[in-house]
Amino acid sequence: MLVDSHCHLDQVDPTLSQTDALLEDAALVGVGHFLSVCVSLENAPVVRDIAARYPQVSASVGVHPNHLDGDEPTVAQLAGLASDPLIVALGETGLDYHYGPDYVPLQQERLRTHIRAAREVGKPLIVHMRDATEDMLRILTEEKAHEVAGVMHCFTGDWMTAQRALELGFYISFSGIVTFKSADDIREAARLVPAERLLVETDAPYLAPVPYRGKQNQPAYVRQVADYVADLRDMEQDELDALVGRNFFELFPVIPRTS
C-alpha cells in the first residue's frame, strides 16, 4: 500500500469533523496508512486520540523546533508518553535556523532531549532539518541517534546531505517540494536514495504538491508526490507504492499492517 509517512491530521481538520472524509479520499487513491505527527506537548493527546480512533493512523509525540509556547519537554516526560503502544516515534524534533539564531541553543538542547528519550524507549525519530545541516548531523552523531535512527522528513537537502543521513541509518522522506520547479537538488536526491530507505509524505496541511501548490494540503495528495518520485526513478506506480509501504513498516515495526 501507499503510506503518507508524515501528516498533521489535527491541523488539516482542527475540529476533527472531516477526518473520516479525508481518510476516505486518500483511500480512494490507494493510501492505506498515515502517520499523524505531534508538534507540541499540548496537542499530543489529540494526535494520540486520532490514532486510537482509526486503525490506519499511527501517532508520534514530540515538540517541533519552532514551537515556543507551552512546557519544555524532559526526557522522562517524552519517554513516558512514547511508551504508549499507539505512539510509534519521537518527533517531530530537529533544528530550524531559517528564522535566525535567537533560539538555537534551545532547539539544540530540545533535539538532544528527544534523541535521549528515543534511545530510552527504542523508537525512531522524526527529524525536521532546515538551514541547520552541520549542527544537525553533528548532534545526531554525538547523541548516538543511529541506535534508533528514524526519518529525515520533508527532505530539502542535496544528495551529499542525504548520504550523510543515510550513513546514520536514517530514511529519507520526500514531500510535495520535490515537485516544485526550483527543487533540482531535491530531485537528484530522490533519484539516488537507495530504494530500501525511501519514503514519501504530504506534511499536510503544508506544502501541497503541484498541481495543488498554494492550496491546503491533504493526505490524498501523497499520490501526486509518489507518482512524481516514481517517474523520477523510472518505476511503475504500484512498484513505488509497495516499496514505500514496505519501508514504512520496517522503520516502524510496532505498527500492525492495516492492509
At residue 259 the predicted structure's pLDDT band, cuts being 50, 70 and 90, is low
For 117, counting Cβ atoms within 10 Å of its Cβ (0-12 exposed, 13-18 middle, 19+ buried), the class is buried
Residue 230 CA to residue 8 CA, distance in Å, equals: 24
Q: Which of 5-9, 73-77, 101-105, 197-201 has the lowest mean pLDDT?
A: 101-105
Residue 198 vs residues 3, 190, 243, 257: alpha-carbon distances, Å = 12, 8, 8, 18
Residue 60 CA to residue 124 CA, distance in Å, equals: 10
Q: Is 45 helix (H, G, I), strand (E, B) or coil?
A: helix
Question: Is residue 128 within 8 Å of 96, Cβ to Cβ?
Answer: yes
pLDDT in tens, 148-195: 999 999 999 999 999 999 999 999 999 999 999 999 999 999 999 999
Evaluate if residue 219 carries a pLDDT over 80.
yes
**Residue 151: CB partners within 8 Å, gap ≥ 6?**
5, 6, 89, 124, 125, 126, 127, 170, 171, 172, 173, 199, 251
Pairing, β 170-174 against β 198-200: parallel
pLDDT at 223: 98
Evaluate if residue 237 carries a pLDDT over 90.
yes
pLDDT at 99: 86
Phi, psi of 171 (to 5 degrees): -85, 160
Instruction: Report the pLDDT averaged over residues 53-69.
Output: 96
